[in-house]
Amino acid sequence: MPETRATDNPNDPYDPGCETFATDMESLNTDIIGVWGWDPDDAIGPDDRILFVKTEEGTYNKENGHFLCMRCYVNEGMPSSPEGWKCP
């Protein structure tokens, strides 16, 4: 895992595919704007990204805090399961 993080929040979701924490993923801003209907000019911060992943990201595994961004999910072959696939 990376040694530095955008916040000191121990609950910051982690993408093991691109080895990045949610707070550092500005690419999530586009998803937040689209899903939550925020204005593109709204300030989106690290805590917003954490909340978005925990409440909206289908691959988020609350047991270990892992998820996959869209690019990593596609690179993994878009795994699925009847119960809903969660990132190991």
Per-residue pLDDT reduced to its tens digit, 19-42:
999 999 999 999 999 999 999 998
Longest CA span, the chain: 38
Q: List residues bridging with 66 in a β-sheet.
A: 14, 61
Confidence of residue 78 (pLDDT cuts 50, 70, 90): very high
Residues in the chain: 88
Confidence of residue 7 (pLDDT cuts 50, 70, 90): low
Q: What is the pLDDT of residue 1?
A: 46
Token digits of residue 79: 């795994």
Other C-beta atoms lying within 10 Å of the C-beta of residue 1:
8
How is the chain split into domains, by residue range? 14-75
Vertex 69: Cα angle to 53 and 45 (nearest 5): 45
